[in-house]
Structures are given as structure tokens and as C-alpha cells.
Chain A
Amino acid sequence: MPNRALFLKLLSAAILFGAWEVAGRIPVSFAFPTFLESMRALFAMTLDGTIFTAYAETLKPLAIGVAISAVLGIAIGLWVGLSNTFDWLFSPIFIVMQAAPLAALIPLLVLAYGIGLTSKVLVVCIMAMPVIVLNTSGAVRNTPESFKEMGRSFLASETSIILRIIIPAASPVIFAGLRLGISAGFIGAILSELKITPTGVGDIITYSRSIADYPSMYAAIFSIILLAVLFLNLLEKIEVTLFKGNQRDYVSN
């Protein structure tokens, strides 16, 4: 079974890359390189080390922003989900944050925090945190009443009910929020490098576009997507090991 899943993943990747190659060869646009050209560029960047120096730069705001969003987002989400007062106080902020057009906020952030790391981390957080908070709080609020009742009737303390019942019950939706939030965080990291100051991977994209080196530009874009996919797969592995029985819901009688 896992081999079959892997096979399907590889197959869908092959179809995607095949289509890319074909589209590049037609070509749909002079600015759209083929898959192989892009891979060659990526290989070259790997050999001369540009890609590593670029990621050393890009991963800083990304890692800090994603870590803050995950920890703080889940904590605030739990808090909001468990308390009606905090729901009333915080939920609107995150709903607005999720809906706000980020491009319009970036000039304000730059004005307030300059063009350094702080602004970039904030962009990542603004992208990643709302969905993590909203998913967590929603899942916590939707814990089946009968689970909580069961806990109380078997003398679980408030803390035990939160740790042993509410959090595990909410975990699938929390993890779904983490996946969405982290994907958005990756977008945020690149966006901040394109909109604030061109550094890291954003710099490769901006620079290679300015000199019409499209294979390098797409190689950079491809690499960030690849990284995001790998990271999300890792997250899925963590979830599966932590909460085994949650994978499938009850079968019907």
C-alpha cells in the first residue's frame, strides 16, 4: 500500500514535469523555460553554492516566522477556543488579518519596523498565523460534547480534559491549519523578499528576471516549492506518529 501511494505521487510529479517540459518547448511564452533547462540552472546554482547562500538568508525569516506562528498560533487558538471572552476579543483580529491584502500592509510594516529581519518575520507571521489560530480555536470549540462529558464522569480534572481529550480530538484540524499556515508562511517569506528588500531566494528571482535568465528564475521558484512540499510531508509523518487512531474515523456500524 505505501508503495502504491509513492508510485502515484511519482506518477503525478512525472505528468506535471512532462507538461511543464512540453509547455516550455512549444513555447507558451518566451519567458517560460522548459523543465530540463530549469533543472540545469538549479544544478548549476547548487554547484556554485548560490542556492545555499540564498537559503541561508531566506530560511531565517521563514524559520523564525513559522516557529512563532505555530507555537503562538496554537497557544492563542487554544485559549480563544476555550474561553468565550477571548473568542470575542481575538477572533475578529485574526479574521481581519486573514482577509487583509498583505501587499497593502507591507509599506506600513516597513514604515514601522524598517527593511530588516523584523519586517520579514512579521510578513511570514501575518500570512501563517491566522489560519493556525482560527483552525485551532474552531477545532477546540467543536470537541464533541460527549467526549468532555465522558471525561468529567470518569473524574478527569480540567487540565486532563484539555490535554487528554480536547487537544487530541482537535489535532487533525490543528494539523490541517498548520499545513495551510506553513504553506502560506513560505509564500510570505518569498513575498517579503520581493516586496521589502531583495535577499536570498527572492533576490535570485528578481535578479534573474531583470537579466532575462528565466531558467534560473524558475529554478529558484521550483526549489522553494520543493522545500515546502518536503516540509509538509515531514509534518504529516509527525502527525501520523503522534495520533495513530485519528487517521480514520469510525466506520459505520
Chain B
Amino acid sequence: MTMSQTKETLTAAGAAEFESAVSARNISKNYGEVEALRDMSLEFPRGQLTSLLGPSGCGKTTLLKIIAGLLEPSSGEIEVNGKRVTGPGPDRAFVFQDFALLPWATVLRNVAFGLEMRGVAASEREARAEKYIKEVGLAGFENSYPHELSGGMRQRVGLARALAVDAQVLLMDEPFSAVDEQTRRKFQEDLLQLVQNENKTFIFVTHSIEEAVYVSDQIAILLPRPSRVSEIIRPSSFRNKGVDNIRRDPEYLDIVDEIWASLRSYVE
């Protein structure tokens, strides 16, 4: 990527520079009287991580669930790999804010849940689940129950479950908001690794400016009332400087400041 500019509005020219894995087109969503999203359009480049950043209540979860096919938009459409979304599909996997692990099932069964629902035979799905449990660093906890794990470990289970079904698009709704700060930083580093190693498209919801700037290839800033994409930011220069240097990078700090400047008027 040769672009050194840190900020650009979403124009047709900007959108054409990459291939979209997911497109949101003119999405509106009303919950009765409440207008959660109005005419929102956004492109999600393949193989990259896009963050949805904005104050709470601005419709981030709503948009993510519409992309997941868990909610119907009031109007507009979502396309994943050029195919219109009508419901949940094998091309998308979800990581939930509250983990949504089944408390009566072991880590192994939780991670294998998606495969089980897809009808994968027991021996094969266990082998695959074990592989991903190892990959998220939970080897040895296969037969533990969720209540025996810390918050951070539970979210690793949630992540392994999503990875195990090998979907091209990973939808993550504030996955690190319920874990402590140290764990969170480790998660963010691991996430960067994951984006690099797995050839997947990540859509990542967060309300943390630092987190968004740290992990994202593209940040969509959402503003409430009426909900809309106010700007798209594509950090570029500090991505390959190594995880330890990012937080000290001048561009990183500039972007954080810039985003805060545009969001501060919406925070009381």
C-alpha cells in the first residue's frame, strides 16, 4: 500500500482501490421508533481488518448482526463475496461480546459446536477443535468447563469456536471489552498475528480509540443520530514496525488524537 495519507472520505475512487469481501449498501434499521442505522454504506476490504468505532448506542452491534444475518435490515442489503445475505451462512463466523459459551459443555465441545451443527463427524470435529484450542493457547483445557476459566480464556474459546468453522469473514463484537487490560493487550497483539497469518476478513467492533488504531487496516468512525459513517481512516505507515513500536509511533498517536477530536463533541 503506497497511500501515506491518513484520512480520506469514502469516495468511489477510494473504494475501488481494494477488493471488497463484504459490502453494506444503504442499510437502514429501525427498532420501532428508534432509528438505529440510516442509509449506511461501507466496504470491507478482503484480507484486512476493519474496525467499527463509535460511541455506544450508535449502532455498531446492529450493523454487525445485520452482516451476520442475525438481524434483518429495514432496507438496504449486505453482500458477502458478491452474494446477497439472507441469513447466517458458512462464510461468516461470530465472536460474541459476552462469549456466549454453553456452560454445560466442555471447552472441546464448545469449540466444536459450529462443526457439530454442520454435521462434521465426531472424530474429525474433535481433531479440528483441538487444533484451534492449541492455536489460541488453551492446550490442556480441552475438558474444562467455561466456569473454570478466566474471562480472557473464555474469549479465547469463543475465538477458537469461530476459527474452527473456517469462515472467510470473522465478525467480532467488542470481543475484548470484558477482559482485563493486560489480557486485552495480549489479545490485540495476537489479533494482529491472526490477521497476518489467516487469510480472512475481520470486522471488529470496538469503542476504544487506541484499540481500533492499534489493530485496524481501516477504521470506520460511526456517529449517532442519525447513525452514519462519518469518516474512514486507513493507518498505513506503522503497521510493519513490529508490535512493540506501534504505540510510540507518531502516526499512531496522531490518528488517536484526530479521532478523539472528531468524537469528543458526541461525548458528554
Taking a contact as CB atoms under 8 Å apart, the answer to whether A251 and B88 are in contact is no
CB distance from B156 to the nearest CB of A (A): 14
Q: Nearest-CB distance from A170 to chain B (Å)?
A: 11
Q: Which of B103, B106, B113, B165 has the most CB of A within 10 A?
A: B103
| Cβ-defined contact, B100 with A245, below 8 A | no
Residue B96 CB within 8 A of the other chain: yes
Residues on B with C-beta less than 8 A from A152 are 70, 88
Interface check A249, CB cutoff 8 A: yes
The total of interchain contacts (Cβ-Cβ below 8 angstroms) comes to 77
Q: How far apart are the CA atoms of A149 and B88 in the complex, in Å?
A: 10
Task: Give the dominant DSSP class at A's interface.
Answer: helix
Whether B114 and A246, one on each chain, are in contact in the complex, defined by CB atoms closer than 8 angstroms, is no
* Total number of A residues with any Cβ neighbor in B under 8 Å: 27
CA–CA, A169 and B100, complex, Å: 12
Tell me if A147 counts as interface (CB < 8 A to partner B).
yes
Closest to A154 in B: B114
Determine if B178 and A153 form an interchain contact, defined as CB atoms under 8 angstroms apart.
no
Nearest A residue to B113, CB-CB: A154
User: Is B224 in contact with chain A by the CB < 8 A criterion?
Assistant: no
Residues from chain A with a CB closer than 8 A to the CB of B180 are: 253
B79 within 8 A of A: no
State whether the Cβ of A150 lies closer than 8 Å to any Cβ in chain B.
yes
- Chain A interfacial positions (CB closer than 8 Å to B): 144, 146-147, 149-157, 160, 164-165, 168-169, 171, 243-246, 248-251, 253
Q: Which 5 A-B pairs have the closest CB atoms?
A: A253-B151, A245-B145, A154-B114, A150-B100, A245-B104
B interface residues (Cβ-Cβ under 8 A, vs A): 65, 68-70, 88-90, 92-94, 96, 98, 100, 102-106, 113-114, 116-118, 145-148, 150-151, 161, 165, 178-180
